[in-house]
Each structure stands twice: as structure tokens, then as C-alpha cells.
Structure 1
Amino acid sequence: MQLRRIHHVALICTDYGRAKHFYTELLGLLVLAEQYRVERQSWKLDLALPDGGRLELFSFPESPARLSRPEACGLRHLAFAVADVQASKAELEAKGIPVEPLRLDEYTGKRFVFFADPDGLPIELYEEQ
């Protein structure tokens, strides 16, 4: 077996409308499909990244909160590659999204920043040119 790439990442949100707006309108991901699954009382939104990667956004009634601090085992954060971290940071801040200060990866010399989605999931923007 040889793993080729990440196909998708699945996220569960507490407020579907707010999360959909965040990922589509603020981050600019493309909607591939959207379904309401009556038997699960759940929305499923398939989102696309330009490289073919996907994000699946789910809503479920009464999902427990995700632990971010202190950091719990499991998914630590979601990272997206961008060409210019400083410009991306400024764009997010102009949309009212709080972004942490710019940081430098001590091993690669690349710049990165963190911010959070509406449910507090840490998201990283990592500079790749």
C-alpha cells in the first residue's frame, strides 16, 4: 500500500449556517455538494480546495465540544498552504477574523499563522511559494 494524498478532512460544527459561511464566504472554499440527512438530523457539506483536496462539514445535534486547550490527543489543527502568509493574514483580519501574530518555522524558515474557525478549531496558514 502506498498512500497518495489526503482525500478529505471531516469537521463537525455546532452552527451549520455559521460554519458554512466561514468556510465558503470567508475562506473561499467551493461547494461541491450539500445534503440534509433526515435520519441523522445532520447537514453534510462537501467543499473543495484548488488542489483537489476536500473538506467535509457536518452538523449533528448535541455534539460535545472539542478540547483545544489544553491540547487533547487527536487532530491538533488543520493547515492550508498559501503563497503569502502576510497578505492572507491581512485579508482574514479585514473580514473580522482574529489572527495570531506571524510566526517563523525555525526548521524550514517558512512563515505561518494561526486562527480559529467558529467552533474554535485551530487553523494554520503555512507559506509555500
Structure 2
Amino acid sequence: MLNGIHHAAIICSDYKVSKNFYTAVLGLEIVAENYRAERDSYKLDLKLPDGTQIELFSFPNSPSRPSYPEALGLRHLAFVVNSVEDAVEHLTSNGVSFEPIRVDEYTGKTYTFFSDPDGLPLELYGQ
């Protein structure tokens, strides 16, 4: 029935900062960018190499939400990478902080967590 994940939607607090983070730092490709004057809101469609997309929204006065990995709801967004170590090295040079790299006890794959500018928990997961 389900064929995959098309997109994940993220609401950010500072559109310019988050746009830079997801495009210049993480390297996602811009598919479309629209400003919706009636909502005073941007919608930025971003694409990963496999076609999966992230919709980045800005809304004025959005309420805060707990974003800790153990909070109820969506736990985190994980990105697959060829090498966790190489990705961490690149992103660290762009000011991104990480938790220590760990090994998944079930798959033997390496992974680590970091946060976007609003504290959304993100993960790098090795192939």
C-alpha cells in the first residue's frame, strides 16, 4: 500500500537561518520556494538525492514544541549517509555540534545525532 516517504514538514522559527542550514550546510536541493502573503509564510521544498523531500515552513508566532528525542510524537528525522565520520567532519567545519558516534547494536551501522537551528533532533545513519 505505501511506497515510501514523500516528505517531512518542518516549521522553523527563523526562515533565513533554517534555509541556510538545510541548503548550504546540509546540501539539500531547492525544488521550489514560495512566499504566501496571506499567511506571511514561506514554503521551501527541498530534495535529497533519493527524491525524498523536506517542506520547510515559516509561520509567525508558531508555538514551541518539545523536540527531545524521547518526547511523544515524531522522535527524529534520520538521513542516510555513505560515511557518518566524513559527514560529521564536514558538518563540524560548518559549526554543527554532534553527540558521540555510536554503533547500532542490531545492524552494526554507525550513527549520531545533531540538531537543526530550532533544536529539531536529526540523525546521520551510515549505509
Same-fold call, TM cutoff 0.5: yes
**Corresponding residue of 2:66:** 67
CA distance in 2, matches of 1:19, 1:51: 21
**Corresponding residue of 1:49:** 48
Does the 8 Å CA contact 2:31/2:47 hold for their aligned counterparts?
Answer: yes
Q: Aligned pair count? A: 127
Q: Which runs of 5+ in 1 are unaligned?
A: none
Identity fraction in percent = 59
Q: Which runs of 5+ in 2 are unaligned?
A: none
Q: What TM-score, normalized to structure 2?
A: 0.97
Secondary structure in 2 matching 1:99? coil
**Corresponding residue of 1:94:** 93
* Cα pair distance change 1:70/1:108, threshold 3 Å: closer
Does the 8 Å CA contact 2:78/2:123 hold for their aligned counterparts?
Answer: yes
Structure 1 segment 12-51 matched on structure 2, within 5 A: 12-51=11-50
Query: Which ranges of 4 or more aligned residues in structure 1 deviate by more than 2 Å?
Result: 68-72
CA distance in 2, matches of 1:99, 1:3: 33
**For residues 24-83 of structure 1, what are the alpha-carbon distances to aligned partners after superposition, in whole Å with 9 as ceiling and x for unaligned?**
000000001000001111100000010010000000011111202473211110000001
Secondary structure in 1 matching 2:34? strand
Q: What TM-score, normalized to structure 1?
A: 0.95
Does the 8 Å CA contact 1:114/1:123 hold for their aligned counterparts?
Answer: yes
1:76 and 2:75 aligned: yes
